[in-house]
Chains A and B, each alone.
Chain A
């Protein structure tokens, strides 16, 4: 995979939006993540060239954000909240349930996150940053599988609804 020429045209347009090329770092990292499903080293290196900077600075920025994945995560990122409201509403159980269900499944990554501002729906989860809650393991698996089968249209791995793959 990697960037296509079309991406490169788009990247140029993004860079041109800012007075300083480096300001385009985040949009470009998201572009890369949407393209490959994660931010590959090749992408970071190419972005560095575009921005006239070094890969070290790109990695520095990229590694600051947990939503930018520097390893392949599959097609769906399931973020399970275990912060206070979800904690008392069996969030940890939900996390364990989903983890064991999808262990070894390369298409789906389950991760634990802090409060995602959906306390009113605790325990809450996000699937590619689309909110669901309250859910238990069975309900969550059901939704995830709908996404997997294509019955539900998922956002990109960066949470963008545009150009969903």
Chain B
């Protein structure tokens, strides 16, 4: 928990801040035991922290109190009547009784009232068996009802969104869901309607609760009023088994509990990890587990034979792949081999493949990023911020993608910092994002051209006396903030806002901020699940595992590895260009599909058409593997143990919940198998052995061995020497067993090891070793500016991602597939539309230097002038047909297909 009690968060709603903010400790007596707590902290929380659980329904630790259910009544000496402990701040000398005949009678009464209109259809309720109303009625309730009249009736479940159903009869009006929607998600699409006994949770007709975070309300509803379409009637809580893991739908790495029944994943719940996700998940992460069971999953190796891909046994497929690698190596050398992808796997996968590619084969043409990220040297070498740094930042600068679309739970955290904690927010970008409404300064620029506004901002943040008008509210907010938060870094959330422009422009803006002397720290916003782990473990040209360059790490690593590449290899764009040009003869695709994922679709197609050999590891077939020699089916999230690194570089463990159908293999094991066949035993037999080897050979990972990974409850941020104080270890092996299935409505604490009872004892204290070698640090330099001048008749393309698109997680998960938009649209504002003289929805011709395609034009008032937006994660024809990776920006000309309509004036 942050040091400021929840009741004292500055907020638009002052009702929840009953006392002045301070963290002075006061003495409180609870049931005869004297305890210390920060003044103003809520009584219910203080009691809980000291082991006294006061029953509650409406109070939730991560939201402001409302005092709606009256379940938490206690006696406070000197105060008249019973007090609701969820809205009573503690003060010096308070004496509290939580169990007395009066309290018991009150609890009896509250429960009897709550049950008056409750249908008690527990046998057909998803919540039955893990229901707080059941539990508390048993523990604190009267055991019988005097109500003999007819209960109120509503139509049984009605959908409030595509994912969530509402049974109004079961609702106890606690307001958890409505408060979550308004306060946490910022999507107040549900509210209480009516009053008295006909109060119900409502949506506005035609405006469903289509929040990206809707699943959280199902998790925190204290009864079975809100249920998830994906989980309804799938299992009973007592049939579930659970494991804690990290979400891998994006790179925030939210902690969660994965529940299965009969070897099927059935539910994913958020775990309350203070440094990461506060218990929340986005809907994509929450319901995206469904793809694991998709019908089309690959479950047997395929090899090219007779013009197609046919099933083959593992030994044969491995032999074939080995001979392809050996062949190309013998004839053309290591440089004729390129390895793409690896950003979707685990750290162990990334390390083993880096070792195979660089240490066994000897090629440095390795890149985990498919032209959609930032240069590896920036990401690996920049001064890193943690997610928690956002809370105590002097200001937050957004220089990257729309977090709501790409890193949803990070969006929640930034929003909370801005709205609840009062951290000033700056939005730099070419178009509006989900956070724009909360920003004190919105700095718009033409796509590919952020320097001018960034320089102005940097100067102002550095204390230059002139205060440009557009920055005045920001600087005032910073001054105000300085009263409570003098120090603290400026956290720059850095990512790639559009793949239609070269990354250079973003890097230049980042360099400006890095050099401005404002103690800027960077939080990466690259969204691909484990891209940070992949980069940290050497799946980038010029780098070796552990954030060191080839030159710096060579000597040390040569002790373990057979070889280390002599010179820096190529990045994805050049690898593909060389494959298209014939210099690269073999492409290894690590769980990636360049034709769909690379921004320049034409280049990717040419590359895969011309390259002689392809070896692909994947869980589905795709266009890029059409001419593959070998396809290996891989084990995925939920089926594989290991670790990942999130945007902060936090290494956290992944749990395994089910055994895969068919015969798939973990990617790291495929690497060791191939290495062995190429004559190099890696001597890695289990994922823990891989982890221990990483801790030994990768400088940034020193200290992060299998033991630490398994016992650190919230993972460990690299390098651990700098972050040791933030690591919480599981206390004892008893602690491990706390992770039981079916506890979902209260914040679920993080836990240690996912296989209880293995007898291991956690390291008592961490004495973090410092890396022996200096880790790579970014020179804060950027390439020269090349941005083309905009001409007045073209629009400049912004190609960004939306949460639900044509990606596999969305399209292969039935719950999400219905939400996806897979066809591309050209979005422009009204003015541009009028200038073109076309109707909304009309198909227009879109011409770039690359090609010309037809797209429907849609009016979007949030798009600035001279800009056109096309989402990148859409099926062709789309943005990737328009982008030329060698151009610094993508300018578009739009033509109408029909004869121009003469408009009446």
Contact = CB atoms under 8 A, between A and B. Distances in A.
A68 to B, nearest CB: 11
Interface string A36-63: 0000010010000000011111111101
Interface stretch (B202-210, B737-745, B895-903): B202-210
B193 interface: yes
B188 A57 contact: yes
Contact of B192 (A53, A55, A58, A60): A60
A63 B199 CA distance: 9
A57 B746 CA distance: 26
Contacts of B191: 56-57, 59-61
A60 B12 contact: no
Interface string A1-28: 0000000000000000000100000000
Contacts of A53: 188
Interface residues of A, number: 14
Nearest to B203: A56
A50 B194 CA distance: 23
Contact of A64 (B182, B194, B204, B207): B194
Interface in A64-93: 64
Contacts of A63: 193-195, 202
A41 B194 CA distance: 16
A60 B193 contact: yes
Contacts of B205: 41
| 9 smallest beta-carbon distances between A and B, as pairs | A60-B191, A55-B204, A56-B204, A63-B193, A64-B195, A56-B191, A57-B191, A54-B188, A56-B189
A41 B12 CA distance: 27
A55 B193 contact: no
Interface in A104-130: none
Interface in B222-259: none
Nearest to A61: B191
A118 B189 CA distance: 40
A53 B193 CA distance: 16
Contacts of A44: 204
B608 interface: no
B193 A59 contact: yes
Contacts of A54: 187-189, 204, 207
Interface of A: 20, 41, 44, 53-61, 63-64
Contacts of A58: 204
Given A54-B188, A54-B207, A60 B202 contact: yes
A59 B188 contact: no
Interface of B: 12, 182, 187-195, 202-205, 207
Contacts of B195: 63-64
Contacts of A61: 191
Nearest to B201: A60
B371 to A, nearest CB: 38
A59 B189 contact: no
Contacts of B202: 56, 59-60, 63
Given A20-B12, A54-B188, 10 more contacts: A44-B204, A53-B188, A54-B207, A55-B204, A55-B207, A56-B188, A58-B204, A60-B202, A64-B192, A64-B193
A55 B193 CA distance: 12
A59 B189 CA distance: 10
- Which of B187, B189, B191, B203: most chain A Cβ within 10 A? B191
A64 B192 CA distance: 8
B435 to A, nearest CB: 16
A159 B207 CA distance: 31
Nearest to B200: A63
24 contacts: A41-B205, A54-B188, A54-B189, A54-B204, A54-B207, A55-B204, A56-B189, A56-B203, A56-B207, A57-B188, A57-B191, A59-B191, A59-B193, A59-B202, A60-B191, A60-B192, A60-B202, A61-B191, A63-B193, A63-B194, A63-B195, A63-B202, A64-B193, A64-B194
Nearest to A63: B193
A59 B194 CA distance: 9
Contacts of A59: 191, 193, 202, 204
A58 B182 CA distance: 13
A60 B182 CA distance: 13
Nearest to A22: B12
A3 to B, nearest CB: 18
A55 B190 CA distance: 9
A69 to B, nearest CB: 14
B102 to A, nearest CB: 32
Contacts of B203: 56
A63 B198 CA distance: 11
A86 B493 CA distance: 67
A67 to B, nearest CB: 12
Contacts of A64: 192-195
A57 B183 CA distance: 13
Nearest to B437: A52
A41 to B, nearest CB: 7
Contacts of B204: 44, 54-56, 58-59
Contacts of A55: 204, 207
Nearest to A52: B437
B184 to A, nearest CB: 15
- Which of A54, A56, A61, A64: most chain B Cβ within 10 A? A56
A57 B204 CA distance: 8
A12 B518 CA distance: 41
A101 to B, nearest CB: 29
- Which of B182, B189, B190, B204: most chain A Cβ within 10 A? B204
Nearest to A53: B188
Given A41-B205, A64-B195, A56 B190 contact: yes
B593 to A, nearest CB: 38
A103 to B, nearest CB: 25
Nearest to B192: A60
A54 B206 CA distance: 12
A20 B12 CA distance: 8
Contacts of B188: 53-54, 56-57
B394 to A, nearest CB: 27
Nearest to A48: B204
B420 to A, nearest CB: 16
Contacts of B12: 20
Nearest to A20: B12
Nearest to B12: A20
Contacts of A56: 188-191, 202-204, 207
B500 to A, nearest CB: 32
Nearest to B178: A60
A66 to B, nearest CB: 8
A150 to B, nearest CB: 35
A60 B175 CA distance: 13
B881 to A, nearest CB: 37
A14 B195 CA distance: 26
A63 B204 CA distance: 11
- Which of A44, A53, A55, A60: most chain B Cβ within 10 A? A60
Nearest to B196: A64
Contacts of B192: 60, 64
Contacts of B194: 63-64
B188 to A, nearest CB: 5
Nearest to A62: B193
A42 to B, nearest CB: 12
Contacts of A20: 12
A64 B191 CA distance: 11
A138 to B, nearest CB: 34
Contacts of B193: 59-60, 63-64
Nearest to A59: B204
A55 B207 CA distance: 8
A56 B207 CA distance: 8
Contacts of B190: 56
B354 to A, nearest CB: 48
A57 B182 CA distance: 10
B161 to A, nearest CB: 12
Nearest to B182: A57
A156 B629 CA distance: 80
A122 to B, nearest CB: 24
Nearest to B198: A63
